[in-house]
Chain A
């Protein structure tokens, strides 16, 4: 499976934008880039996904590099509720289609 690399931790201030990076240099052409987050004592929550083009939804934006070897999750205005572990995952269309979780990025949001 193609691996992703994320910083262990990042810090932001409330109401400021946050850019969470992810490197995936061995990505294959059919891998989708998914982002999940996990709040304390909760299950992972789907945030956004993309293949080649940048994507926006109500939660966040996903910027994908032209060569697809990296991506950035953008939270436009961080809130205290956004403090969580953020996982960048490459998802293949395989028979099991499992998600392979790394250690993610722990985002701290300061008031």
Chain B
């Protein structure tokens, strides 16, 4: 059981380049999330999705776009990477929005913008 899988695991970009981070889950979860974690800090929500074809903004959405074309996949895009986007990106999924439902996380994508 793979759970939540993120690709790539590491990436180095130059300022202004674009890229897409892929998150895949095999648990048939409705909800998916993208977080970023900066050194010494907790995770902050970028965007989330409550089901296939839906997306919504989180706490820090500027500079990112997302798509949820298939239920099992949630893509995070950087159109024009900036050094401030250097971070570790985590994807998570959950069954639904209920308060008693945990979120399941991937192992992260470590992204450096030069």
List the interface of chain A (C-beta within 8 A of B): 30-32, 34, 41-46, 49, 51, 87, 91-104
Contacts and interface: CB of A to CB of B under 8 A. Distances in A.
B50 A95 contact: yes
Contacts of A46: 102-104
A101 B105 CA distance: 13
Contacts of B96: 97
Given A42-B108, A87-B42, A99 B99 contact: no
Nearest to B49: A96
Contact of A102 (B42, B101, B102): B42
A31 B98 CA distance: 10
A44 B41 contact: no
A37 to B, nearest CB: 11
Interface residues of B, number: 31
Contacts, number: 72
A99 to B, nearest CB: 6
B98 A103 contact: no
9 contacts: A30-B99, A32-B100, A43-B106, A87-B42, A95-B50, A97-B94, A98-B33, A100-B42, A104-B42
Q: Is the interface of B mostly helix, strand, loop or mixed?
A: loop
B105 A98 contact: no
Contacts of A51: 99-100
A44 B89 CA distance: 12
Contacts of B100: 32, 49, 51
B48 A42 contact: no
A80 to B, nearest CB: 20
Contacts of B59: 98
Most B CB within 10 A of own CB, among A44, A51, A101, A104: A44
Contacts of A43: 4, 90, 92, 105-108
A19 B73 CA distance: 38
